[in-house]
Structure 1
Amino acid sequence: MTHSAAPAPIDDFAAWINAFLQPGALIELGVLVTCVGLSWGLVHGLQRAFNPDAERSIWFGRRGIDGVLFPLLLLALAYGARALTVLWLPLAVWRVAIPALLALVVIRIGVQVLEVAFRGASWLRPVERTVSWVAWLAAVAWITGLLPVVLSELDQITWKIGGSTLSVRTLIEGALSAGAVLIVALWISSAIEARLLRDATGESLSLRKAASNATRALLLFVGLMLALSAVGIDLTALSVLGGAIGVGIGFGLQKLAANYVSGFVILTERSMRIGDMVRLDTFEGVVADIKARYTVIRAVSGRESIVPNEMLITQRVENLSLSDPRVWQSTVVSVAYDCDVELVQRLLVQAALEQPRVLRDPGPLAALSAFGPDGLEFTLGYWIADPENGQLALRSAINLRVLALFQEHGVEIPYPQRVVHVRPPASDAPAVPSTPLARVTRVP
């Protein structure tokens, strides 16, 4: 490694600062403020016209000025105003404003794209701060005239790797190029995902989710290849690495690869879609999200189960709403043997129809299902179309209404009856008169 510390001259700061004290600096400042006002007005008008989603809009952000469009418009107007101002006045304010606006554009693009692409990630804030610090330090170095000197010094620190000669400046520029390529790839994939998933429901949602995941993976792969080329890495050298990764997947990452493949199979064949009501073993809930490696199933109680996609392919899964969202539900009621059967059936159907969640077509059905030891057993069955909203509360409401209707019409719900057999006494016990077996009935 070689290092040359040849100093380079730095601009005259005294003359530069003296330029800010001239009357022309006030004119530049006024033009800059005008550019800010025009940019804000244009962004505000476009935001009202398009009405974008504030949570996923990279161009406008949440408040308009924190998106990408505002600093881009301001930078474009500032460049135009600078080109006109330099014809009549020496530059002072623009020497500070242009690098600052460039840094602001870089920060807003990086922050907004990362927030949309990786919403809620724990590492997001440190990365955003790093991007901000790097951009502002580069802007300060540019304004003060230190940037060419620093780059020249970094270009002198070199070393050889194989047949290539690398320098610190080359690595930094390659890393920045790689970051820019990946940011652009994430931006494009986020825009495609928002476009594909907009107003998508049911079967189309799962298919579009699969297309979105595949597009993002493809764009990130292409971006990574371009980034490696920008750094100066020969991509032909990755063939050996690709073979090693293939062997590693074949032996050590079988489960992980199986989960990813299963995720794409589920999304492609649409055997399970977002919003379906499913039951896996003893866990029942709604499919909240399907990722490349796992699926999130949310129970009506609020519990969420993260299920590897391989389990959904290799094990038996009950999809309660695969071809039809309607679900059959039932409850069992016992009445006395001397009750009016037709009246009981009519009251049971009435109790079900009084609930708005119970479907009218097909309607509820009350049937005599068994002759129980204590009374007649009726099964009330009905269909619902929204099992994701819970089933226990609906069954409880129907049972309460059945109880109220039975009490109102004098239908008796029998109490359990038991027969007790009294054994005769042993031979050595005092003799007692023989009595027949006693039938004991418990009454309230």
Structure 2
Amino acid sequence: MESDPTPILQELQALAEQGRGFFQSLTRPGWRLYQIGILLGLFALAQLGAWALYGRLYGWLRAREGWPMWRFRTGLILLRRLRIILLVILAWVTVWAMREVTWPSRSYLVAIGATLATAWLFVGLAARLVRNPFLRRLVTWGLWVYVTLYVVGLTEEAAALLDSVRLGMGDLQLSALTLLRAAVVTGVLFTGARLIATTSAARIRRDDDISPSMRVLIVKLLQLCLYGAAVFLGLKLAGFDLTGLAVLSGAIGVGLGFGLQKVVSNLVSGVIILLDKSVKPGDVISLGDTFGWINALGARYVSVVTREGKEYLIPNEDLITSQVVNWSHSNEFVRLDIFFGTAYADDPHRVRRLAVEAAASVPRVLADRPPVCHIVGFGDSSVDYILRFWIVDPSEGLTNVRGAVFLALWDAFQANDITIPFPQREVKILPGSRLAAAPPD
């Protein structure tokens, strides 16, 4: 930190002198002291009113069945700020009453307190637009400090104090005021970019003329452009010289290229997946032992949810370099095969007809693509068959529909005396063996 301590001490001394003079004026007998007492009394009344009304209002809010979620959340946000809302109302009513019955100067401090309470209330409500908890807290406290200094008329002195604190890095000189202004401007622009991105993304996702993969790609590109523009524009408006950052960003890019090869590979693979439309949200895929449907396409990974409720985060690079079975790439039709066998004594023509009827009786089996049954071989113990049928909803599961068809086959064979054989072995005892010579029990 390279800065001359003399200007900082001078600014601190000037602020201390103003603060001491202000507080000394408050302690003198007169209307200023009375106004301080009025403000303390209003705060106490607001606290008592919040204690008395919170439980009733919360119960009333919980009883509002059928309300949309956004309205219920808005009610909770206002309810949590009940004390300051009551303080704002009481303070402005008091200011109005005092100005009606006495001179305006005798309500000066009460008006300042009402203005501060109102500003703090609106800052707290506006900060809810920032989703990140740390950034929201930073923006809230920063705006509270700024509006307080603005109302009491100390913005110029505070700005001079912050500007006197400087950080030097070669030819680059940054003051605390510049950093604070950059943080505030960037935060405001970032919040605005998030609101625009959220609204635009919702409209893009509702557009059925755009394929699901292209919707994801457009949303990602829109977010990247808006957030990037917010950061660079915020730094530019705050007074940063961005030309000096070009060389630094290039060096950082080279270092990241070597150290984060896998991350960059996954990012590039994600863009390729979105462009070639090989997979999209809702597709049912198999990758190794993982079978499920795609829940979301991320910048680094693809979220796949299985029938067991497990969510696998598969790197995008694996979807590019590995063999992936997409059960619903071009259409939703999926053919399933099951194998079974019957005894040689059973008529194969009858077995095939019963098998087709049994498969067709399962609700998920398609009727417009009827099942078929063929003999595939003559085994040691049975005549072997294959039963093929089609479904159109692989995301609902494959094992369950196979089980339903097997159960229908069992019922049909039991009702028509069709035998499902199992391997049998005959054991012959040769003459002269020990078992043959052994006396019977």
Is the TM-score greater than 0.5?
Answer: yes
Residue in structure 2 matching 1:307, options 292, 309, 314:
314
Counterparts in 2 of 1:203 and 1:230: CA distance versus 1, 3 Å: closer
Contact 2:139/2:184, CA 8 A, preserved across alignment: no
Q: SS of the residue aligned with 1:289?
A: strand
Q: How does 1:170-209 map to 2 (within 5 A)?
A: 170-197=178-205, 199=206, 204-209=211-216
Q: SS of the residue aligned with 1:328?
A: strand
Counterparts in 2 of 1:372 and 1:202: CA distance versus 1, 3 Å: farther
Residue in structure 2 matching 1:210, options 217, 235, 254:
217
Alignment-derived partner of residue 356 in structure 1: 363
Counterparts in 2 of 1:234 and 1:154: CA distance versus 1, 3 Å: closer
Counterparts in 2 of 1:94 and 1:397: CA distance versus 1, 3 Å: farther
Contact 1:202/1:275, CA 8 A, preserved across alignment: no
Alignment-derived partner of residue 45 in structure 1: none
Alignment-derived partner of residue 347 in structure 1: 354
Distance in 2 (alpha carbons) for counterparts of 1:53 and 1:194: 17
Q: SS of the residue aligned with 2:74?
A: coil
Q: What is the letter of the counterpart of residue 327 of structure 2?
A: L
Distance in 2 (alpha carbons) for counterparts of 1:367 and 1:388: 27
Residue in structure 2 matching 1:63, options 74, 99, 103:
74
Comparing 415-424 with 405-414, which one deviates more in the overlay?
415-424
Residue in structure 2 matching 1:96, options 88, 99, 113:
113
Give the superposed CA RMSD.
Answer: 3.9
Counting helix residues as a fraction of each chain, which structure ranks higher?
2
Q: SS of the residue aligned with 1:323?
A: coil
Q: SS of the residue aligned with 1:382?
A: strand
Residue in structure 2 matching 1:125, options 119, 129, 133:
133
Distance in 2 (alpha carbons) for counterparts of 1:381 and 1:53: 47
Distance in 2 (alpha carbons) for counterparts of 1:61 and 1:250: 47
- Give the total of aligned pairs: 383
Q: Deviations over 1:324-348 (max 9, x none)?
A: 1111112222111121333322322
Alignment-derived partner of residue 371 in structure 1: 378
Counterparts in 2 of 1:186 and 1:102: CA distance versus 1, 3 Å: farther
Alignment-derived partner of residue 232 in structure 2: 225
1:294 paired with 2:305, answer: no
Shift of 1:151: 3.5
Distance in 1 (alpha carbons) for counterparts of 2:72 and 2:243: 41
Shift of 1:416: 1.5
Percent sequence identity over aligned pairs: 31
Distance in 2 (alpha carbons) for counterparts of 1:398 and 1:111: 54
Shift of 1:367: 2.2
TM-score normalised over the length of structure 1: 0.73
Gaps of 5+ in 2: 46-66
Comparing 362-371 with 279-288, which one deviates more in the overlay?
362-371
Counterparts in 2 of 1:249 and 1:147: CA distance versus 1, 3 Å: closer
Distance in 2 (alpha carbons) for counterparts of 1:179 and 1:193: 21
Contact 2:286/2:292, CA 8 A, preserved across alignment: yes
TM-score normalised over the length of structure 2: 0.74
Alignment-derived partner of residue 276 in structure 1: 283
Shift of 1:419: 5.1
Counterparts in 2 of 1:346 and 1:99: CA distance versus 1, 3 Å: farther
Distance in 2 (alpha carbons) for counterparts of 1:264 and 1:376: 51
Shift of 1:195: 2.1
Counterparts in 2 of 1:345 and 1:108: CA distance versus 1, 3 Å: farther
Q: SS of the residue aligned with 1:235?
A: coil
Contact 1:110/1:183, CA 8 A, preserved across alignment: no
Q: How does 1:32-43 map to 2 (within 5 A)?
A: none
Contact 1:155/1:167, CA 8 A, preserved across alignment: yes
Distance in 1 (alpha carbons) for counterparts of 2:383 and 2:153: 96
Q: Deviations over 1:21-62 (max 9, x none)?
A: 89xx99xx9xxxxxxxxxxxxxxxxxxxxx9873xxxxx683
Q: What is the letter of the counterpart of residue 313 of structure 1?
A: I
Gaps of 5+ in 1: 30-50, 55-59, 115-123, 434-444
Residue in structure 2 matching 1:111, options 92, 110, 128:
128
